[in-house]
Structure 1
Amino acid sequence: MLHVIGVVISLFLSTLLFTKRGKSNADLVLAFWLFLICLHLFCYYLLASAKFLEFPYLLGLEIAMPLLHGPFFFLYTTLLTGKRISKLYCFLHLLPAVLVYIALSKFFLLSATEKIFIYENNGVGYLGLLKIIHFAILPSGIAYIIMSLYLIEEHRKNISNLVSYLENINLNWLRNLMIGMCIIWLSILLGNDISTFTLVDLYILFIGYSGIKQVGMFSNNVIPLPANNLEMGLLGTIEDKPLITTRVKYQKSTIGDRFLSEIHLQVKQLMQREKLFKDPELGLNELAEQLNIHPNVLSQVINTLENKNFYDYINELRIEEFKLILMRPENQKFTLLALAYEVGFNSKTSFNRNFKKKIGMSPTAYLKQHKIHLQATIRL
């Protein structure tokens, strides 16, 4: 029964994505992948329930499918992290499965009776090919998981160079999909078909549940992109709106040290005068616009002269401002969290983490060390 539910839900989710208005290339890849999972689950259900006699024309389709899941997840991750891919690139990743189907072409031309006979006799006549495919499946899955993990980590680092807040950036969707894939491939390595396909059913249920919570994933709410960001890449999502960011690539030799120092001085003066870091959603693009310079130049200035990414630079300014306003007697009536919000943090978790990273102790410990007593302190 669980397999039937998995088939129905994966087909339903796939249909939602195919019919979604304004769907992206990532949506299309996910739609095809969900349809593949639907077909794979259905084929397994037929084999597990011995109903394949009623659908002999589907026999053999499931053999190469394990070689497709890794590439589809990798391509989806690639697109969702802002990279562009060509049709040839996609085909090259799908090529191993295509070659397997070509090798099985003789089987697909057999009559229904002959196909059933081969299945009932454990693949007689194709044992050599089946062994090769079996030994290729696990390395393929592991390789694509490693490559996808690399993309996600690279994506995370890119975001740190572009925004001053990470709490609302939706990397959880990719991370959760990755965790599910790892568990499934671990079952392939250590478990059996029953445990593996049961996990796939649960994985589909999870995708459906998480996808509904992920604003815009399966809905027709199309979010228009700003006209001046047409050449920028989509590196993630911030709750219900896309995070549009430039790809930061530069070489130190392209900009003179004197020019870098001048920009650096302008940045410091602007921060001291305007205290732009108090904006919880301050991003690299917005700050570069204030300075009337290209975001790549600003990123190079911060990375080179501050030896930090944009995220750490802005949050360290917030911590320093917090330390200043904490000492003012008129602020003793506020909580730590209220003061943290005042300097630009948008969550207790973000404030606590960045404070410990910068100061080396918790905010509460810092208060005790400096004998500062707030009237309404929330323990952080």
Structure 2
Amino acid sequence: MNAFFMCFSAGASFLLSFLLFFHPLRENLTANKWLALFVSIMGSAFLGIYLNHTEIGESHPGFIQWINGLQFILPPSLFLSTQFFINPVKVLSKKDWIHFVPFLIFLFLQVVFAGDHAIFMKAKLFEIGNTSFLFRDILPFQLLLYLCLSYLLLLRHKKNLRKITASIQEIDLNWLSNFLLILTVILIFWINDTLFGIPFLIGVMPIIYTASIFFLAYFSIRQRTVFAFNKKDLKDISTFLESPAKDQLQKTERLNDQQFALLSAKLNELMTKERLFLDNNLSLPMLADQLEISIHDTSYLINRLTEGNFYHFINRLRVEEARQLLSSNRVEELNMLGIAFASGFNSKTTFNTAFKKYAGISPSAYVKQQRTT
């Protein structure tokens, strides 16, 4: 039965890898290719577990060790995939290849010990109590490190999104956070198999691995394009997000007093007369085009005027518009979703979250409050 689950997990992983590499919706192409590499190597690991208990594993141990060695590519491929999801215009640099040094060390040792069936993968490094820590046991802890690094990247990404857009729910990469969470579950069972050997966990491990692949597939196919901008705006956004926060907030020389006054007046006109904040797809690059200045200068202008970022600036205006609509007769003809769209929000979830944040109560509670006063 364990053999069945391992084979099934391997096949499902290879299928998911194929779908990610040739993504049918052409979303996040480079990021998905790295993610496909990660999933395919995970599939090869499941295949290696199965083969290790067959005649192939007994007669060709070196081949199994090659399969196991590929797992040193798992962590960097996941980390680079995360980086490309966050920054679609990223270019691989020399320092990125440093992440593959463990795999190169493996290749060196594999060549050196090839005549001895590559037994170095089972070589004992040290002991923890009665448990021997083998060379191959480095693998789950290497992945644990990169899982943490990837999660930290996602946290920074979610914070950065508020600098360029007023609606983050569709592009906050929550699906990738869930993807990492499922990988953490797999990792817990892997570390148990490596160090602790709790019988119950080992017994259910094949089932957990198989179920995890389905959840990984579910979350990965829910992805959408993170930054739906043209190449020029993407490069500007990348530069803007990578620049230190103090450069964006403290460089008052970006705009002199005359420029600041003129642009403040123009921004006020765009918001009060043209009511640009009602555009559901409004973003920092779009506002910068209207002001005819750079993304950096637009962000600086908003920061200096409001002491907040683009997200707070636009959503405060939208919540104020929603409050007026909820207090008017239009609340009878529009449902909450209609109020949300009429106020500039592009989803009910975003509307509810922002309204609670800036009004202090939910939209429905606000309506009840208005009716009783």
Per the shorter chain, which TM-score range? 0.7 to 0.9
**Structure 1's 265 and 57: CA in aligned 2 closer, same or farther, altered over 3 A?**
same
Q: Residue 190 of structure 1: CA displacement?
A: 3.7
Return the match for 1:147 from 149, 156, 161: 149
Name the structure 2 match of 1:173. Answer: 175
Matches of 1:75 and 1:297 in 2, distance apart?
30
Aligned 8 A contact 1:160 1:310 in 2:
yes
TM-score normalised over the length of structure 1: 0.78
Name the structure 1 match of 2:184. Answer: 182
Equivalent position SS for 2:345: coil
Aligned 8 A contact 1:248 1:296 in 2:
no
Matches of 1:294 and 1:216 in 2, distance apart?
23
Alignment of 1:193-212 (within 5 A): 195-196=204-205, 198-212=207-221
Name the structure 1 match of 2:105. Answer: 99
Name the structure 2 match of 1:10. Answer: 13
Matches of 2:153 and 2:191 in 1, distance apart?
24
Name the structure 2 match of 1:226. Answer: 230
What code does the residue aligned with 1:165 have?
S
**Structure 1's 335 and 215: CA in aligned 2 closer, same or farther, altered over 3 A?**
closer
Aligned 8 A contact 1:161 1:310 in 2:
yes
- Which runs of 5 or more structure 2 residues have no equivalent in the other structure? 127-131
Name the structure 2 match of 1:377. Answer: none
Alignment of 1:212-361 (within 5 A): 212-214=221-223, 226=230, 228-229=232-233, 231-232=235-236, 247=241, 249=243, 250-251=247-248, 252-253=250-251, 254-256=253-255, 258=257, 259-329=259-329, 331-361=331-361
Name the structure 1 match of 2:129. Answer: none
Matches of 2:125 and 2:99 in 1, distance apart?
24
Between Structure 1 and Structure 2, the one with more helix by share is: 2
Matches of 1:20 and 1:187 in 2, distance apart?
30
Would you say 1:26 and 2:28 are equivalent positions? no
1:160-192 per-position Cα deviation (integer Å, ceiling 9, x unaligned): 111121232261331121111211222233455
Aligned 8 A contact 1:248 1:299 in 2:
no
What code does the residue aligned with 2:9 have?
G
Q: Residue 365 of structure 1: CA displacement?
A: 2.4
Would you say 1:86 and 2:92 are equivalent positions? yes
Q: Residue 311 of structure 1: CA displacement?
A: 1.5
Matches of 1:103 and 1:141 in 2, distance apart?
20
Identity rate, percent:
25
Name the structure 2 match of 1:110. Answer: 116
Name the structure 1 match of 2:124. Answer: 127
Matches of 2:173 and 2:302 in 1, distance apart?
24
Q: Residue 35 of structure 1: CA displacement?
A: 2.4
Q: Residue 213 of structure 1: CA displacement?
A: 4.4
What code does the residue aligned with 2:97 have?
F
Matches of 1:362 and 1:101 in 2, distance apart?
59
Name the structure 2 match of 1:161. Answer: 163
**Structure 1's 248 and 293: CA in aligned 2 closer, same or farther, altered over 3 A?**
farther
Equivalent position SS for 1:274: coil
Equivalent position SS for 2:271: helix
Matches of 1:62 and 1:167 in 2, distance apart?
39
What code does the residue aligned with 1:300 have?
Y
Matches of 1:145 and 1:213 in 2, distance apart?
20
Matches of 2:214 and 2:228 in 1, distance apart?
30
Aligned 8 A contact 1:77 1:151 in 2:
yes
Equivalent position SS for 2:273: helix
Matches of 2:330 and 2:104 in 1, distance apart?
71
Return the match for 1:75 from 80, 94, 98: 80
**Structure 1's 322 and 189: CA in aligned 2 closer, same or farther, altered over 3 A?**
same
Equivalent position SS for 1:231: helix
Matches of 2:18 and 2:366 in 1, distance apart?
54
Equivalent position SS for 1:316: helix
Matches of 2:138 and 2:57 in 1, distance apart?
25
- Which runs of 5 or more structure 1 residues have no equivalent in the other structure? 218-222, 235-244, 374-380
TM-score normalised over the length of structure 2: 0.80
Would you say 1:41 and 2:46 are equivalent positions? yes
Aligned-residue RMSD, C-alpha: 3.4
What code does the residue aligned with 1:109 have?
G
Q: Residue 298 of structure 1: CA displacement?
A: 0.8
Equivalent position SS for 2:361: coil
What code does the residue aligned with 1:95 have?
V
Q: Residue 330 of structure 1: CA displacement?
A: 5.5
Matches of 1:208 and 1:336 in 2, distance apart?
33
Matches of 1:75 and 1:354 in 2, distance apart?
32
Matches of 1:228 and 1:75 in 2, distance apart?
22
**Structure 1's 24 and 233: CA in aligned 2 closer, same or farther, altered over 3 A?**
farther
What code does the residue aligned with 1:273 have?
K
Aligned 8 A contact 2:23 2:29 in 1:
no
Bigger relative CO (Cα 8 Å, ≥ 6 apart)? 1
What code does the residue aligned with 2:254 have?
I
Q: Residue 43 of structure 1: CA displacement?
A: 0.8
Q: Residue 230 of structure 1: CA displacement?
A: 6.4
